[in-house]
Amino acid sequence: MMAREHIQNINLLPHGRVIAVFDPVEELAQSAATLAGEAYVASSLADLLAVENLDALVIVSPNYLHLAQLQEIAAIRPLPVLCEKPLYTDPADAPVVAAFAAAYPAPLWVAMEYRYMPPVAAFIEQAVQATGGIKMLTVREHRFPFLPKIGDWNRFNAKTGGTLVEKCCHFFDLMRLILKDEPVRVMASAG
């Protein structure tokens, strides 16, 4: 799902083009390649990294695979990477990711797309203009259960990092963006 969204957005860029894709599910790889405009279908991440004129990567795999894939990319061919959030799911990996980010020789971005959604961007602009600046912000999300994904990986905390990492991170990001500040205290409840 996210791969298709990224491909469609890249297709809208005047100088953007998806030239190669990798997905271990052949049907999804072929579908992504077609959507991209007949991109090369790589048989592995290493095969993808061997594509000579590749100049950036987008990682849209399940959360628990991100860190290992970033490490493989760094070992084979470090390129600029846009990685879907989160970079890791196990809190014990925080120092590993910090060291990785400090040593990675190319740009590494984490995708937080909610901040670019037109309704959110309009809300931010209007709220700041109307109020002269927001001093306190609360976000409440009422959402449907997670969508079914291959192997239901997104329904297990060990593979997602938990709901606060999988979904609520968008709202933590928006609060930081809107308030132009860092949190002092975070409280969450769920039911």
Q: Each residue of 19-34: pLDDT tens digit?
A: 999 999 999 999 999 9
Residue 72, pLDDT score = 97
pLDDT surpasses 80 at 166: no
Residue 191, pLDDT score = 65
pLDDT surpasses 80 at 148: no
Rounded mean pLDDT of the chain? 88
CB 22 within 8 A of CB 44: yes
Residues ≥6 apart with Cβ < 8 Å to 154: 62, 63, 146, 147, 160, 166
Question: Whole-prediction pTM value?
Answer: 0.84
Q: What residue ranges define each of the domains in the chain, with the CATH number in brackets?
A: 2-113 (3.40.50.720), 114-179 (no CATH)
What is the C-alpha to C-alpha distance for residues 139 and 175, in angstroms, rounded to an integer?
A: 8
Residue 142, pLDDT score = 72
